[in-house]
């Protein structure tokens, strides 16, 4: 089932994840790389209605985490105003690497998708928000190799976790701080410098590039009826082969885990640190709509594996501490709530009797009370951890611990070196 | 079409002064750090008067009364 060799790193940057695919590679197929002259035919030119139809036919969902239907996002764009297109490549989740891989190794595909949308929406400006030097270098090189990318500008953004959120990116691009605004404004209404903006994740644009090149029929050759095509996953933690994997939608989770060499009985976190621990069917099909229906999320395609040799509560506490430190500090319930949650978790690890009930009470008031979804995501991650590791919670309360050390399998570092340790 | 009114907090402005919770305790509570806890349900016409008072007295100008037109009658959460 495995195909495609690991793609050599063209830039010569620090260690980066191994990259492979289950089944034939699409997003990471050779030919979209930055160096060689871009010899492929230009992407098909699609009208706005045609693009919206094609995107709706394959049920394309945004790949940044919220899994918002791309067709709905296209329909929301006004027709008679000058619009801006933003490719969000800021990838600020520590356990995610797939966007950087895409920009470094398939920059032309990302640009294809962006230019298809730009043409359909008649956008004059295309901004790519990047927070990674090799990715920016690859994109610059790719832009230089094509004649249709004159409207593209590559812009650097801040590196915090919460700085990657759509509206925070728009503010940073406009010259402001990389922080979500306090008032609800839709980017399609007022985005980059007040213009209506179509913003989506790097992988979303790469998928649109593929869709434009293949057409909806060939695009749906792989994947499942509910969700045709493939997705990129970053797999980290207690696995023999961590890396970025392209999988057809519908691939059973168990097949992925076998492929990456996860220990039997390992705990699985889906959707990263704003996601939830998966305790359901081990063979659940990896697909956003299916997981959503089961109350879970793939988020930005992050899968973390926790082995049985580390204390799961200590791992949770460490990540909660990191998430608290990543709070922008602009909303009280997040600024005060998250450190308290992290502290409660530490107390729980130490066997404090009342810590679990304090924690549950506090987790109930954190969500929905911030400018961005950082408090909501953090509460979801911790609450699902308490459910998934209920037996460990009990053991820590009864015996003051579980005797297992903290191995740091859940990374809190943005560099791949530490993940792949 | 019905019109629903809710209190919206701009969390980037709120400093937890706590006046809103004192003026309108029926709907606005406060957490252990003094920041408002508001249940998401739409306000009744009687409550809107109190809500306006709470909005007007916020020293940080963090509260807003939002009106939304909804197709179906509100379901209470």
Question: Which tens digit of pLDDT belongs to each residue from A333-355?
Answer: 999 999 999 999 999 999 998 99
Distance between CA atoms of residues A46 and A313, nearest Å: 51
Q: How far away is chain A from the Cα of B46, in angstroms, using its nearest Cα?
A: 25
Question: Which pTM was predicted?
Answer: 0.92
Task: Report the residue from B12, B34, B37 with minimal CB separation from A331.
Answer: B12
Say what the ipTM of the complex is: 0.87
Which residues in A lie closer than 8 A to residue B34 (C-beta atoms)? 332
What pLDDT sits at residue A126?
A: 97
What pLDDT sits at residue A285?
A: 97
For domain A23-219, which CATH number applies: 3.30.300.10, 3.30.2130.10, 3.90.1150.10, 3.40.50.11540? 3.40.50.11540
- Chain A within 8 Å of B39 (Cβ-Cβ)? no
Strands A84-89 and A125-130: parallel
Question: Which tens digit of pLDDT belongs to each residue from A357-395?
Answer: 999 999 999 999 999 999 999 999 999 999 999 999 999
- Chain A within 8 Å of B12 (Cβ-Cβ)? yes
Asked whether the beta carbons of A260 and A235 are under 8 A apart, the reply is yes
Do you know the residue count of chain B?
77
Domain boundaries defined on chain A: 23-219, 230-306, 312-405
State the pLDDT confidence band at A42, using cuts at 50, 70 and 90: low
Which CATH architecture is the domain A230-306 placed in? Roll (3.10)
Q: How far away is chain B from the Cα of A336, in angstroms, using its nearest Cα?
A: 7
Contact B11 A371 (CB under 8 A): yes
User: Does residue A420 surpass a pLDDT of 60?
Assistant: no
What pLDDT sits at residue A1?
A: 37
Asked whether the beta carbons of B24 and B53 are under 8 A apart, the reply is yes
Contact B10 A371 (CB under 8 A): yes
Distance between CA atoms of residues A131 and A180, nearest Å: 17
Going edge to edge, which strands form the sheet with A302-306? Answer: A2-3, A18-22, A243-248, A230-237, A302-306, A267-270, A276-278
What pLDDT sits at residue A341?
A: 97
Strands A302-306 and A230-237: parallel
Distance between CA atoms of residues A352 and A357, nearest Å: 10
Question: Which tens digit of pLDDT belongs to each residue from A56-94?
Answer: 999 999 999 999 999 999 999 999 999 999 999 999 988
Question: Which tens digit of pLDDT belongs to each residue from A157-175?
Answer: 876 888 889 999 999 999 9
Which CATH architecture is the domain A312-405 placed in? Up-down Bundle (1.20)
State the pLDDT confidence band at B40, using cuts at 50, 70 and 90: confident
| Residue to test with chain A: of B34, B35, B63, most A Cβ within 10 A | B35
From A184, which residue of chain B is nearest by alpha-carbon distance?
Answer: B10
């Amino acid at each position: 089932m495995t195909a495609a060799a690991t793609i050599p790193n063209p830039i010569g940057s620090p260690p980066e994840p191994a990259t492979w695919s289950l089944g034939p590679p699409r997003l990471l197929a050779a030919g979209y790389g930055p160096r060689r002259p871009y010899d492929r035919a230009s992407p098909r030119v699609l009208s706005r209605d045609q693009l919206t139809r094609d995107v709706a036919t394959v049920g394309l969902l945004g790949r940044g985490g919220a899994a918002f239907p791309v067709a709905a996002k296209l329909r929301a764009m006004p027709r008679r105003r000058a619009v801006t297109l933003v490719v969000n490549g800021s990838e600020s989740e520590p356990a995610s690497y797939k966007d950087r891989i895409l920009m470094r190794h398939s920059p032309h595909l990302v640009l294809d998708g962006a230019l298809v949308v730009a043409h359909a929406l008649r956008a004059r400006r295309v901004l790519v928000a990047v927070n990674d030097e090799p990715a920016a270098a690859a994109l610059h090189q790719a832009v230089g190799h094509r004649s249709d990318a004159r409207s593209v500008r590559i812009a650097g953004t801040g590196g915090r976790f919460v700085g990657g959120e759509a509206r925070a990116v728009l503010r940073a691009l406009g010259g402001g701080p990389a922080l979500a605004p306090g008032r609800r404004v839709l980017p399609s209404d007022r985005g980059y410098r007040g213009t209506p903006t179509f913003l989506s994740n790097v992988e979303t644009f790469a998928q649109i590039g593929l869709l434009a090149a293949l057409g909806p029929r060939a695009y749906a050759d792989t994947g499942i009826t509910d969700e045709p095509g493939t997705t990129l996953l970053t797999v980290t933690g207690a696995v023999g082969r961590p890396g970025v994997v392209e999988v057809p939608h519908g691939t059973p989770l168990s097949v992925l885990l076998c492929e990456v060499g996860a220990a039997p009985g390992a705990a699985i976190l889906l959707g990263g640190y704003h996601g939830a621990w998966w305790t359901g069917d081990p063979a659940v099909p990896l697909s956003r709509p299916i997981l959503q229906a089961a109350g879970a999320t793939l988020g930005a395609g992050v899968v973390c594996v926790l082995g049985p040799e580390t204390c799961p509560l200590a791992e949770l506490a460490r990540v909660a501490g990191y998430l608290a430190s990543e709070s922008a500090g602009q909303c009280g319930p997040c600024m005060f709530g998250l450190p308290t949650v992290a502290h409660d978790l530490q107390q729980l690890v130490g066997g404090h009797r009342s810590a679990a009930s304090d924690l549950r009470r506090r987790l109930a008031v954190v969500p929905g009370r911030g400018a961005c979804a950082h408090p909501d995501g953090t509460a979801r991650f911790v609450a699902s951890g308490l459910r998934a590791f209920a037996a460990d919670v009990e053991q820590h309360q009864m015996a003051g611990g579980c005797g297992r050390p903290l191995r740091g399998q859940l990374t809190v570092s943005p560099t791949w070196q530490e993940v792949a340790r | 079409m019905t019109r629903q009114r809710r209190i919206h907090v701009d969390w980037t402005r709120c400093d937890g002064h706590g006046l809103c919770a004192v003026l309108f305790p029926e709907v606005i509570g406060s957490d252990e750090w003094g920041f408002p806890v508001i249940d998401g349900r739409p306000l009744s016409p009687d409550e809107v008067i109190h809500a306006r008072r709470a909005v007007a007295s916020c020293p940080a100008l963090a509260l807003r009364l939002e009106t939304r037109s909804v197709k179906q009658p509100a379901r209470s959460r």
